[in-house]
């Protein structure tokens, strides 16, 4: 959908549109269903020319706005900026989405070339004195402008974006800021590439069936197929992709092999080799501190949290402290239980971090007669996805209808049209759930196009995607999920709904464009439906027999719900503390990454049998994504979601009125209003931490 531009810009744009690379698909209107990118037509050689052209066009628009002789108004300055940069948005949304999901060396080279170029372009806008003067003039008179609340929020966000990114700095400091931004844009990319490459480099190939002792059939068959795909016929391959290494730790009776694969995982990026990330971390931490100091902040955390719900680092530490002590105490109880099992079985060794998963699974099996081998047959991927769609339909009446011939960037991707109850089009949903060497680990949501409205009010429907790394089908066995993966799928669907059900005007404020410690609420509340007994009965069916999950198995799931929660809470909180500790550094020193991590987590009391969920050298959330000083957001969102889901428990988990309140105040609003105000409008009161502690069994 083309955006509408102001008349003074049209001549410029028409001249710039005449590019010699007429075959570049980014230069044309996409004649595809719903404006989906024509992935098969887009080649690597198209990205860089389109980015350069996009920057030229965007810069011309910005200069026209900044140098206008007209009196500054919301329409000719803020709104004009919001609707500028169409081509650049178009190409970068596709490129960076695919660089995470289906990368290669050429894509990574383009990313390295593009990062400083885009950083410089962003700085050219933010540090444009004339442009900032116009925005500042409008902001100073905002109370007299009769703007709508959404327009007022957009104006305020633009003003703060400029101020918080150096618009008020002197010329010398602006140049320093440019250099910092440019270097950060490159080294953060390198951090992620190192993790991906080292992950793909590790292979544990087993040749003797005795080495498979304890492993369930689904793990063995998956390893055999992975080995065959790599040319290791008759052998079994285990990798550092989660569907491979986690079940190996849970079930393998070979303690030495558990140690081998676990050590490979927790030493990612920390092996003093070409993929080592320690020096990069030192640079990132130092540059972020320099940048924050330039902008007038004591630490990076003070800068990052200023616009969050937490506001200051002290509030984050206080939140984490409220949960850390009960979580750690619970983890110590669990450690004693597992050591007792080792001693009972005549193990003759002390519990180590690579043993925890195995003995947790073993004790859960003994105590509750429950493990993933029992549960996975009931969680076929297709059924779990259908259950997600069913929950959405029951809550909001929306439907997901698969489009078989839609353009896709990989054969594993499925595409769905999302519609309202009355059949009105909402948007397009892509799901890409299987691991591959070209995809980074984890699970995430993103967009190829955000929901918004054109300048004349026409709806622009979103193109939203979910990406995961679940076990692929093998032979005659379908993709079967662990219970944790079921939660992950529902979690990412929550993010997807935040993008799909957005109902705003301006891309800067729609969908997931909210503060970091609010963005996880829609995702984490969805996990409640995944595990609710009434919902389980509707979708958890044995992949062979079609029989629904038995009541006694649901009862076991419920009883085991709080099992090993000390471990899960502690490993997560350790990572959150590590994030905050890096970003509350307030002066330069000779940072030794290993020592810093060990000292900080040791001082916090982390027991050696538990490692931080993410060690520094592969902590992608804080060193390549937008969660620096924000990893705590997941536990804060869990406070919100535990409290919010109480409303559904009180009124019925599929109560349409409660669901509509959640849609109108949380999903639809994006970042257009203060998040606590939106939460109170939905819930009627501020959130309490007590439901979270009760749910995790930590009270």
For position 14, what pLDDT does the model report? 33
What distance in Å separates the CA atoms of residue 57 and residue 61, rounded to the nearest whole number?
6
Q: pLDDT grade, residue 12 (50/70/90)?
A: very low
> What is the rounded average pLDDT of the residues 125-150?
95
- Backbone phi and psi for residue 400, each to the nearest 5 degrees, phi listed first: -120, 115
Burial of 268 from C-beta contacts in 10 A (0-12 / 13-18 / 19+): buried
Domain ranges for the chain, please list them. Answer: 7-168, 202-266
For position 695, what pLDDT does the model report? 84
For position 18, what pLDDT does the model report? 39
212 is written with which tokens? Answer: 């498979």
Q: Which fold has domain 7-168?
A: 1.10.1370
> What is the rounded average pLDDT of the residues 423-436?
97
Burial of 446 from C-beta contacts in 10 A (0-12 / 13-18 / 19+): buried
Q: pLDDT grade, residue 22 (50/70/90)?
A: low
> What is the rounded average pLDDT of the residues 445-455?
97
For position 555, what pLDDT does the model report? 92
Residues contacting 574, CB < 8 A, separation 6+: 601, 604, 606, 610, 611, 612, 613
| Collapsed DSSP state (helix, strand, coil) of residue 625 | coil
> What is the rounded average pLDDT of the residues 36-50?
98
Burial of 286 from C-beta contacts in 10 A (0-12 / 13-18 / 19+): middle
- Backbone phi and psi for residue 339, each to the nearest 5 degrees, phi listed first: -65, -35
pLDDT at 197 over 70: yes
DSSP state of 620: H
The CA-based angle 69-70-72, given to 5 degrees, is: 115
pLDDT at 313 over 80: yes
Q: What is the pLDDT of residues 50-60, one digit of tens each?
A: 999 999 999 99
pLDDT above 70 covers a percentage of the chain that reads 97
8 A C-beta contact, residue 596 and residue 361:
no
Active site residues: 492
For position 696, what pLDDT does the model report? 84
For position 259, what pLDDT does the model report? 98
């Amino acid at each position: 959908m083309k955006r509408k531009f102001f008349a003074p810009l049209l001549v410029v744009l028409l001249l710039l549109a005449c590019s010699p690379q007429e075959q570049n698909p980014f230069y044309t209107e996409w004649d595809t269903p719903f404006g989906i990118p024509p992935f098969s037509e887009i080649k690597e050689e198209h990205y860089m020319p389109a980015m350069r052209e996009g920057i030229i066009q965007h810069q011309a628009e910005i200069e026209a706005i900044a140098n206008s002789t007209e009196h500054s108004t919301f329409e000719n300055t803020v709104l004009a900026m919001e609707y500028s940069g169409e081509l650049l948005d178009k190409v970068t949304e596709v490129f960076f989405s695919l660089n995470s999901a289906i990368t290669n060396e050429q894509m990574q080279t383009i990313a390295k070339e593009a990062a400083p170029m885009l950083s410089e372009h962003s700085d050219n806008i933010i540090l444009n004195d004339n442009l900032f003067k116009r925005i500042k003039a409008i902001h100073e008179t905002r109370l007299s402008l009769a703007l709508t609340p959404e327009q007022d929020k957009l104006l305020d966000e633009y003003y703060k974006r400029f101020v918080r990114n150096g618009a008020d700095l002197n010329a010398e400091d602006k140049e320093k800021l440019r250099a910092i931004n440019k270097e950060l844009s490159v080294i953060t990319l390198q951090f992620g590439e190192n993790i991906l490459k080292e992950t793909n480099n590790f292979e544990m190939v087993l040749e003797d069936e005795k080495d498979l002792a304890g492993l369930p059939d689904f793990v063995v068959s998956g390893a055999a197929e992975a080995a065959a795909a790599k040319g290791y016929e008759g052998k079994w391959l285990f990798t550092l992709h989660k569907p491979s290494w986690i079940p190996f730790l849970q079930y393998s009776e070979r303690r030495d092999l558990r140690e081998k694969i676990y050590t490979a995982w927790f030493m990612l990026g920390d092996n003093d080799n070409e993929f080592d990330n320690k020096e990069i971390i030192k640079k990132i931490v130092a540059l972020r501190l320099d940048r924050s100091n330039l902008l007038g902040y004591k630490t990076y955390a003070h800068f990052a949290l200023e616009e969050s719900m937490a506001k200051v680092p002290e509030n984050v530490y206080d939140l984490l402290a409220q949960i850390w002590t009960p979580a750690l105490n619970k983890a110590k109880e669990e450690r004693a239980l597992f050591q007792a099992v080792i001693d009972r079985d005549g193990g003759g060794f002390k519990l180590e971090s690579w043993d925890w998963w195995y003995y947790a699974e073993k004790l859960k099996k003994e105590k509750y007669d429950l493990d993933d081998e029992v549960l996975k047959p009931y969680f076929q991927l297709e059924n779990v996805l259908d259950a997600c769609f069913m929950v959405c339909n029951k809550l909001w009446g929306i439907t997901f209808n698969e489009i078989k011939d839609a353009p896709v960037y990989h054969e594993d991707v499925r595409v769905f049209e999302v519609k309202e109850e009355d059949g009105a089009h909402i948007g397009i949903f892509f799901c890409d759930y299987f691991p591959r060497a070209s995809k980074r680990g984890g699970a995430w949501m993103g967009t190829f196009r955000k929901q918004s409205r054109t300048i004349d009010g026409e709806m622009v429907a979103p193109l939203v995607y979910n990406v995961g790394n679940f076990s692929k089908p093998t032979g005659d066995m379908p993709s079967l999920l662990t219970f944790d993966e079921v939660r992950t799928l529902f979690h990412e669907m929550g993010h997807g709904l935040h993008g799909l059900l957005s109902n705003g005007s301006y891309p800067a404020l729609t969908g997931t464009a909210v503060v970091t410690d609010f963005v996880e609420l829609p995702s984490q509340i969805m996990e409640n439906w995944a595990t609710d007994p009434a919902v389980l009965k509707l979708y958890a069916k044995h992949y062979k027999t079609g029989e629904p999950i038995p009541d006694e198995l649901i009862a076991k799931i419920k009883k085991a719900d709080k099992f090993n929660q000390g471990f899960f809470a502690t490993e997560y909180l350790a990572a959150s503390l590590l994030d905050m500790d890096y970003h509350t550094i307030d002066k330069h020193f000779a940072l030794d990454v290993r020592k810093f991590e060990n000292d900080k987590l040791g001082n916090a009391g982390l027991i050696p049998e538990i490692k931080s969920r993410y060690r520094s050298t592969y902590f992608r959330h804080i060193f390549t994504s937008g969660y620096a000083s924000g990893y705590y957001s997941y536990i804060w969102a869990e406070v919100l979601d535990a409290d919010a889901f109480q409303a559904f428990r009180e009124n019925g988990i599929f109560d349409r009125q409660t669901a509509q309140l959640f849609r109108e105040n949380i999903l639809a609003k994006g970042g257009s209003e203060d998040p606590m105000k939106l939460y109170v409008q939905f819930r009627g009161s501020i959130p309490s931490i007590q439901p979270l502690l009760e749910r995790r069994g930590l009270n």
